[in-house]
Amino acid sequence: MKLTHATVHNYRGILDASLRLFDYSLMVGPNNAGKSTVIDAIRAFYEKDGFKYKHDRDFPFITTSDQESWIELTFQPTDAEYASLAEDYKLADKTLRVRKYLKAGDKNKEGYIFGYKADGSLSDDPFYGAKNVQSGKFGDIVFIPAVSKVDEHTKLSGPSALRDLLTNVLEAVVESSPSYEKFSKDFEEFSKGIKTERTADGRSLDGLEGELSALLESWGTGFQLDMKSPSTAEIIKTLLSYQCVDKTHGKALAVEQFGSGFQRHFIYSLIQLGAKYMGKKPSKKAKDFTPSMTLILFEEPEAFLHPPQQEVLSHSLITLSGNPDQQVLCSTHSPHFVSRNAARIPSIARLKRDNARIAICQIDPKAWDEIVDANQTINKIVQKWPALKTKLEAADFKPEMEAVKYFLWLNPDRCGLFFANHVLIVEGPTEQAFINKLIDEGRITRPADGMHVLDSIGKFNVHRFMNLLIHMGIPHSVLHDDDGKKDLQADVNQLIQDTRHATLTTAITAIPDDTETLLGIPKSGADHRKPQHLLFLHETKQIDATKLDSFCNLVGACLPTAAKGKEA
């Protein structure tokens, strides 16, 4: 079974928001956008590890349309799981949709889960009856917070990922283990023998037992000591311990002695193995609706990991989520994680907060079709010009090509756009590098809440990135050369203007002719040398100060808070 949709109503900063989930899903966005709120809402549904809804903490502080708070989850069971589902809850699309009331007008509903019926209405009766029955009907979740102590996941004296994993394996082994059977018999003999053995001064367990029984004789009661073979739980709690061995010198070390990056990887490794082993437990009865699903909720998986290790972990999570009964939802601030998922843009959800209200922006199939159609408008323009038309290939007109382009272009640097409060789109690396340099020098004032300067790989792709930003709800502005405003360039300039969004596009500014003309500098002899050529002229102070100020003012006018160029 897999979780396909989560809808949240009146939970912290969320008044109403929906999230579509895939095998592997990412939530991105600026800090304090609401990613942890979504994860906590799902945790409140499952109440795993004692995490429950608390009204004073979790009901919105902002004005709400009603006083209810609930979470709806939609699942896609396997055919076998769907067949075992009660008839009342079988929907036409073969999904299971349920709602858990965290707060309701009817107090009898609070904490209970209700299923949607075949006619689309919400049942008045709790899903499968009592709460303890409901809890086994939606698989399991594993939560890995952004900050946690390794002991929380490895302790053997209480609930932990390591203890659960060991229990799962050891219980299965003990059921038919000759070693455990022999151990039990030997322990029985030991328990008999040890009771009669005496200390040097004549004390024994057997003697203690007899003396205490004698004192209780007047009450018609005796005292008896029993020593049983330890159970699986007792073996794990009291007899097992673990260490990590550093293979460079063969010494055993406590996991706390390793760095945070290793500890984080160790925790994930336990979760990964746990999902693998726990998934092998068979259903108690074939006729019972007991779906198999483990949903891993991973906050900031990139924490303490350098970029190459982030990519390794990302690949591992994607592979894990490909299993039929496992699923992963991550919240991340890492462009490396997003870049690894660039081929699956619909599975990336961007969260943002407007006036304390959390919104989720995600590209659904209809929106993706709109993006493809809008992106391919450039092909119609190019076909008007014979010299360029011959460069088009049949594949350029295929919808799949747009996905390929985004996959190629959304490297970790460009994926910074998903986390930005504002994106400035420029034509290429020359403008990107130059503007970032001027920001570092204080000649251009960066907006207070940050900005990402995006290299769009040429003017013909500016509209493509605008379309992506618009559908992900990201404010942006555009700075491009007008290239004389003639012929083909006039059509492309107009396409950029036509792509403007009424509220998300802050400004579209055209540089007269091009950047080099505005700055009064000679052009580079080769396109690939343009960035270094411009930066060299700037570093050696060969650009007129007045013209440099003009460029800075053009850039500043594009930004949410206009930044004027400073005197050189």
C-alpha 384/C-alpha 367 separation (Å) is 28
- Find the radius of gyration of the CA atoms of the chain: 32
Cβ atoms of 263 and 255 within 8 Å: the answer is yes
Last-in-domain residue among 343, 359, 375 = 359
Q: 137 with 170, same domain?
A: no
342 and 371 fall within a common domain: no
Instruction: Give me the domain span that covers residue 373.
Output: 365-558
pLDDT of res. 218: 94
Q: How sure is the predictor about 30, in pLDDT bands with cuts at 50, 70 and 90?
A: very high
pTM here? 0.86
Residue 422 shares a structural domain with residue 509:
yes
Q: Kindly state whether residues 28 and 116 are assigned to the same domain.
A: yes
Task: Take residue 235 and report the two structure tokens written for it.
Answer: 């073996």
In a shared domain, residues 10 and 67:
yes
Q: Residue 188 and residue 206: Cα distance in Å, rounded?
A: 15
Asked if 373 and 439 sit in the same domain, the reply is yes
pLDDT tens-digit series, residues 369-420: 999 999 999 998 988 888 788 888 899 899 999 999 999 999 999 999 999 9
- Better-predicted residue by pLDDT, 130 or 383: 383
For residues 495 and 381, the answer to whether their CB atoms sit within 8 Å is yes
C-alpha closest to that of 334 among 266, 398, 264:
264
Task: Please check whether residue 509 is in contact with residue 557, taking contact to mean a CB–CB distance below 8 angstroms.
Answer: yes
CB count, 10 Å around CB of 50? 6
- Cα of first residue to Cα of last residue in the chain, in angstroms, is 63
- The last residue of a domain, from among 316, 344, 359: 359
CB 88 within 8 A of CB 115: yes
Q: Say if 246 falls within a structural domain.
A: no
245 within a domain of the structure (yes/no): no
Q: Are residues 47 and 100 in the same domain?
A: yes
Instruction: Tell me, yes or no, whether 214 and 111 share the same domain.
Output: no
Q: Find out whether 161 and 267 touch, Cβ atoms under 8 Å.
A: yes
Percent of the chain with pLDDT over 70: 96
Task: Mark whether 231 and 338 lie in a shared domain.
Answer: no
Among the listed residues 262, 323, 261, 256, the one whose alpha carbon sits nearest the alpha carbon of residue 296: 323
Looking at the fold, whether 421 and 542 belong to one and the same domain comes out as: yes
Do β-strands 326-331 and 294-299 pair in parallel, antiparallel, or remain unpaired?
parallel
The reply to whether 338 falls in a domain is yes
Q: Tell me if 563 is assigned to some domain.
A: no
Query: How many domains does the chain contain in total?
Result: 3
Q: Quote the CA–CA distance of 478 and 467 in Å, as a whole number.
A: 12
Q: Is residue 250 part of a domain?
A: no
Q: What CA–CA distance (Å, rounded) separates 322 from 316?
A: 10
529 and 398: one domain?
Answer: yes
| pLDDT for res 134 | 67
pLDDT tens digits for 200-236?
999 999 999 999 999 999 999 999 999 888 988 888 8
Residue 171 in any domain: the answer is: yes
Q: Name every residue whose Cβ is closer than 8 Å to that of residue 525 and which is 6 or more positions away in sequence.
A: none
Per-residue pLDDT, 565? 40
Interval 61-93: pLDDT, tens: 999 999 999 999 999 999 999 999 999 999 999
Domain-ending residue, one of 359, 390, 417: 359
Is residue 251 in a domain? no
Residue 567 placed within a domain? no
Check whether 283 has a pLDDT greater than 80.
no
Residue 162: the pLDDT is: 83
d(CA 191, CA 138): 44
Question: Is 190 found in the same domain as 115?
Answer: no
